Amino acid sequence: MVIALLGVGEAGSALGSELISAGAQVRGFDPAGFELEGVEPASDAAEAARDANAVLSLNSAEAAAEAARSAAKALAGGVLFADLNTASPTVKRAVADVVGAAGGSFADVALIGPVPGKGLRTPALASGPGAERFAQLFGGLGMPVTVVGAEPGEAAARKLVRSVFAKGLAASVGEALAAAERLGCEEWLYGELERTLNDADAALLRRLVEGSRTHAARRGEEMAAAVEMLDDLEVPPRIAAAAEDWLRSLAHQGSAEP
């Protein structure tokens, strides 16, 4: 089996090493250059993709469409082209159009979680006309792949909506700890957050969703006070202000219901 890697950075290197261990022949291209034992360097994307069973694009959202265009002449005959970049559904559909016009089979693949340390064991969502084929090929190599739809962009959308939570949580933690540092209680808050995450369960999720709607007005006032405090501490209240605005909106919706 021949696998082409377009982009041999952190994620590409982790997958490339495990593909080699699984017995695949791996060719790679990265405009920044790379050194990865066992991966045959190619002069461009088309050379990397030549006669490959599958092409994995692991560049960036900005480079995704160009990577597909560069590899296009090697995709005729239904070669599987899987875009593993974290890009919007719109970008995924644009890449799918390029791959389809070249005669390839496109899979929109969303990797759920960091690749380093997991490699081929990284859970993935897949959609698009080549999704089932991707699941069959890489599932056989140990990757947990869930096919979520036939349209390009469906896998990307699921990953990004999950990212709203995950990255929003990280931003909230960062903002709270910055304020706690100014107040001299960073260690205490870190412990509180750690305890909350350790104890998290389905009931907590329900309280966050249902409680915010039920107590939107009171919680909005609480966040207004938090915003005022953060301003006094000279910590930009980006997340706190957004939370206040969201709660005010919920309170307004509740008061407008018949």
- Contact criterion met (CB below 8 Å) for 43 and 71: no
Residue 163 and residue 156: Cα distance in Å, rounded? Answer: 10
Across 78-99, average pLDDT: 97
Other beta carbons less than 10 A from residue 77's beta carbon: 10
Secondary structure class of 103 (helix, strand, coil): coil
Burial class (CB in 10 A: 0-12, 13-18, 19+), 248: middle
Sole residue written with tokens 């909230």? 172
Residue 61 and residue 252: Cα distance in Å, rounded? Answer: 37
**Cβ neighbours for 210, distance < 8 A, ≥ 6 positions apart:** none
Specify the pairing of strand 105-111 against strand 124-127.
antiparallel
- Contact criterion met (CB below 8 Å) for 120 and 142: yes
Q: 11-15, 32-36, 153-157 — which is least confidently predicted?
A: 32-36
Q: What pLDDT does residue 255 have?
A: 63
Residue 158 and residue 110: Cα distance in Å, rounded? Answer: 8
Chain segment 127-147, per-residue pLDDT in tens: 999 999 999 999 999 999 999
> Taking the mean position of all CA atoms in its chain, how far away is CA 97?
21
Joined together, the tokens standing for residue 144 give: 């947990």
- Contact criterion met (CB below 8 Å) for 223 and 196: no
Chain segment 190-237, per-residue pLDDT in tens: 999 999 999 999 999 999 999 999 999 999 999 999 999 999 999 999
- Contact criterion met (CB below 8 Å) for 41 and 93: no
Residue 244 and residue 231: Cα distance in Å, rounded? Answer: 14
Place 254 in a pLDDT band, splitting at 50, 70 and 90. confident
Residue 246 and residue 222: Cα distance in Å, rounded? Answer: 13
